[in-house]
Amino acid sequence: MLPCARFAFFTLARDASFVALAALLLMVAAASFELPLACKIGATVALLFCLLLLARSFFMTEERFLRSEAWRSLRPEERPAGESGLRVARAECRELMLRFAKNAAGVSGVLYISALVLAAANGPGHDTIVTAGLAADALK
């Protein structure tokens, strides 16, 4: 693994841990009111993080990569040499962003399913599951 890719991994891991901490704090605050709502909040934060990473990887040009933290923090002798080295480092950084985005999407899916199951376990009347009977009663 290139030093640039290793540093990009730790930078993304740091960003993901800050997002996870923020989501956890929001979930704990909402869990006192309703547990399915807490799971929905965590899932939404994870999905937003996934979308942010997808956008960052899509718009990652060579100029933007040269201004990134993963590139600027390395000493010049640690950086890959030449134009091809820059392309390889940028490709590895993009691949890492996509891998983190995939994991965030997985976490989001698990939390959304947990919210759905918890709302179903609490019985009818929650906003997650609307059965045909509840919908018919609401129309009357």
* DSSP-assigned letters across all residues of the chain: --HHHHHHHHHHHHHHHHHHHHHHHHHHHHHTT-HHHHHHHHHHHHHHHHHHHHHHHHT--HHHHHTSHHHHTS-TTTSPPHHHHHHHHHHHHHHHHHHHHHHHHHHHHHHHHHHHHHHHHT-TTSSS---HHHHHHHH-
The structure's pTM equals: 0.79
What digits encode the pLDDT tens for the residues 94-132?
A: 999 999 999 999 999 999 999 999 888 876 655 544 455
Which pLDDT score is estimated for 65? Answer: 82
Q: Taking the C-alpha atoms of 138, 135, 113 and 108 in order, what is their torsion angle to the nearest 10 degrees? A: -70
Which pLDDT score is estimated for 124? Answer: 60
Low-confidence ranges of the chain (pLDDT < 70): 1, 123-140
Which pLDDT score is estimated for 128? Answer: 44
Which pLDDT score is estimated for 36? Answer: 87
Which pLDDT score is estimated for 6? Answer: 85
Which pLDDT score is estimated for 134? Answer: 58
Which pLDDT score is estimated for 123? Answer: 66
Which pLDDT score is estimated for 87? Answer: 86
Which pLDDT score is estimated for 51? Answer: 96
Which pLDDT score is estimated for 12? Answer: 92
